């Protein structure tokens, strides 16, 4: 049934690609929208700036703003050394932002509404932080879990809490994005379902009454647009903060 | 901020769908999603890192460089104009000082010349004055000697009339000279 709010999250296999053991690898609607995002982002940045104008056009200006926005975020949270991770953070931010925005278009699919995707991204960040931290600082990296100036009596407890919070980072990092996208789209679908429900149940009066949930959808769309941007930004800035720990574990 | 939304989403799970298929938790689709996510993400990363970001960064950098160059150029021109102004003002000050010097010199020369003229004139006048005083003194002397002659004559006549004897010229001259000296 069309009003089912979960229907929109269904993975549809477009064509199978391979079988690895028991697992089936197929090209799905999710993959389609991932590549759509890749193409849109690349076109936006490369074609938008193709003229290399000194005085930028609107599109070039937008591309430059996205560049400078992410660069400023990285520089302010992870310092100048953090700029080596700028392409990584930029890719994360633009990918999440674009799939979030694509998901707002009716009849599309929201890639980030699947926990496996956000978890994979969060674990990539987690492993990057862990490996770079160990590679860069060796065992000094674990100073991250030992704050300075803590009395020795409660130090084990503090270290335990620090380790726990570090390990739970990928969980909160991924669930935050996933849950926001999921909940937002379910809410939109539920309100849209009300319109159909009222229209089919009460005829003409129902369609008039449908104005109310429709108004809600308009408001929610604005909210979800904000959330789509905000969650991409939050994901990116948390990545920067975690990377900062890998670069400067001393404090 | 995630927590309340998470709750609403989990509430919807049993309500919205039959048990088997809440798609985000359907492990059957995980291998496909992960595979394509890795491919898409790595592809996007390479495209960004090797192509798009250097291009955009290059544009921003070249613009910044252009702005910096222009600012530097403007600074150089400003320094030049400042220098020109300084030179001009120095020239003006020099000319003013020069004019002042010429004026002072002229005034001094004029004053000296006037002083010299005044002095010559004064000397001349003093000389004339001295001459006039000499003339007056000579005239006075002459007059005085005339007075003595007249007084001697008168004395002789008075003495002759009183005592009938004419006194000697010497005695009269001594007496008159003494009286004149006393007066």
Tens digits of residue pLDDT in B52-90: 999 999 999 999 999 999 999 999 999 999 999 999 999
Cβ neighbours of A230 (radius 10 Å): 15
CB-nearest partner of B2 from A31, A38, A176: A176
In a domain, A178, yes or no: yes
Q: What is the extent of the structural domain holding A136?
A: 7-247
Assign A251 a pLDDT band (cuts: 50, 70, 90). Answer: low
A49 contacts B23? CB cut-off 8 A: no
Higher pLDDT, A210 or B53: B53
Q: What is the pLDDT of residue A175?
A: 96
- Rounded distance between C-alpha atoms, residue A23 and residue A209, angstroms: 48
Specify if A152 maps to a domain. Answer: yes
Structure tokens at B72: 């530097």
- Asked if the structure places residue A226 within a domain, the reply is yes
Please indicate, yes or no, if residue A55 is contained in any of the structural domains. Answer: yes
| Interface size, chain A vs chain B, as Cβ–Cβ contacts under 8 Å | 163
Q: Please report the pLDDT score of residue A3 as a whole number.
A: 58
Q: How does residue A198 score in pLDDT terms, banded at 50, 70 and 90?
A: confident
Task: Decide if B33 and A121 are in contact by the 8 Å CB cutoff.
Answer: no
Note the pLDDT of residue B183. 67
A183 pLDDT band, cuts 50/70/90, is very high
Flag residues of chain B having pLDDT under 70. Answer: 1-20, 183
Q: Is A169 inside a domain boundary?
A: yes
Nearest-by-CA chain A residue for B64? A54
- Asked, for residue A41, whether it belongs to a domain, the answer is yes
Query: What is the length of chain B?
Result: 183
Rounded to a whole number of angstroms, the distance from the CA of B8 to the nearest CA of chain A is 7
- Give exposure, A78-108, as e/b (b: 16+ Cβ within 10 Å): beeebeebbbbbbbbbbbbbbbbbbbbeeeb
Counted domains in chain A: 1
On whether ipTM exceeds 0.90, the answer is yes
> Nearest Cβ partner of A6 from B17, B31, B59?
B17
* Domain presence at residue A1: no
Q: Could you read off the pLDDT of A8-43 as tens digits, one per residue?
A: 888 888 888 888 888 888 999 999 999 999 999 999
Q: How many angstroms separate the CA of residue A199 from the nearest CA in chain B?
A: 21
Q: Classify residue B166 by its DSSP letter.
A: P
B45 vs A contacts (CB less than 8 Å): 87-88, 91
- The region that residue A138 occupies, defined by phi over 0 for left and psi between -120 and 50 for alpha, beta otherwise, is left
Q: Pick from B25, B30, B97, B59: which is nearest to A30 by CA?
A: B30
Decide: residue A35, CB within 10 A, 0-12 exposed, 13-18 middle, 19+ buried.
middle
Chain B residues in contact with A67 (beta carbon < 8 A): 53, 56-57, 60
Q: Cα–Cα distance between A176 and A96 in angstroms, integer?
A: 13
Q: Do A6 and B25 touch (CB under 8 A)?
A: no
A67–B44 CB contact, under 8 Å: no
Q: Does B28 touch chain A (CB under 8 A)?
A: yes
Residues in chain B closer than 8 A to A120 (CB atoms): 34, 37-38
Which residue did the predictor score with more confidence, B172 or A112?
A112
């Amino acid at each position: 049934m069309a009003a089912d709010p979960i229907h929109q999250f269904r993975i549809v296999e477009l064509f199978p690609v391979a079988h690895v053991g028991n697992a089936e690898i197929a090209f799905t609607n999710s993959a389609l929208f991932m590549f759509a995002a890749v193409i849109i982002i690349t076109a936006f940045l490369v074609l938008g700036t193709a003229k290399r104008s000194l005085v930028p056009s609107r599109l070039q200006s937008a591309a430059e703003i996205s560049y400078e926005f992410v660069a400023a975020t990285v520089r302010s949270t992870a310092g100048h050394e953090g700029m080596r991770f700028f392409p990584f953070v930029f890719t994360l931010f633009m990918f999440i932002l674009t799939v979030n925005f694509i998901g707002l278009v009716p009849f599309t699919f929201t890639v980030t509404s699947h926990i496996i995707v956000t978890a994979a991204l969060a674990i990539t960040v987690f492993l990057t932080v862990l490996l770079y931290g160990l590679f860069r600082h060796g065992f000094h990296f674990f100073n991250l879990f030992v704050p300075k100036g803590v009395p020795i009596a409660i130090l084990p407890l503090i270290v335990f809490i620090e380790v726990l919070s570090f390990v739970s980072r990928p969980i909160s990092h991924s669930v935050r994005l996933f849950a926001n996208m999921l909940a937002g789209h379910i809410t939109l679908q539920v309100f849209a379902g009300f319109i159909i429900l009222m229209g089919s149940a009460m005829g003409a009066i129902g369609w008039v009454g449908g104005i109310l949930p429709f108004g809600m959808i308009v408001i929610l769309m604005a909210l979800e647009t904000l959330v789509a941007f905000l969650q991409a930004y939050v994901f990116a800035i948390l990545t920067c903060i975690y990377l900062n720990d890998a670069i400067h574990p001393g404090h | 901020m995630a927590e309340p939304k998470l709750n609403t989403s989990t509430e919807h799970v049993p309500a919205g769908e039959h048990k088997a298929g809440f798609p985000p938790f359907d492990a059957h689709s995980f291998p496909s999603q992960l595979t394509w996510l890795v491919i898409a993400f790595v592809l996007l990363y390479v495209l960004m890192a090797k192509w798009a970001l250097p291009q955009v960064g290059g544009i921003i950098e070249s613009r910044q460089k252009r702005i910096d160059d222009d600012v530097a150029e403007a600074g150089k021109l400003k320094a030049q104009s400042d220098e020109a102004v300084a030179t001009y003002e120095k020239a003006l000050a020099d000319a003013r000082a020069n004019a002042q010097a010429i004026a002072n010199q002229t005034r001094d020369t004029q004053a000296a010349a006037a002083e010299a003229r005044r002095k010559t004139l004064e000397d001349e006048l003093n000389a004339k004055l001295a001459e006039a005083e000499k003339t007056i003194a000579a005239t006075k002397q002459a007059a005085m000697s005339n007075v003595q002659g007249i007084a001697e004559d008168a004395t002789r006549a008075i003495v002759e009339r009183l005592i009938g004897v004419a006194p000697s010229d010497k005695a009269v001259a001594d007496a008159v000279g003494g009286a004149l000296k006393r007066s």
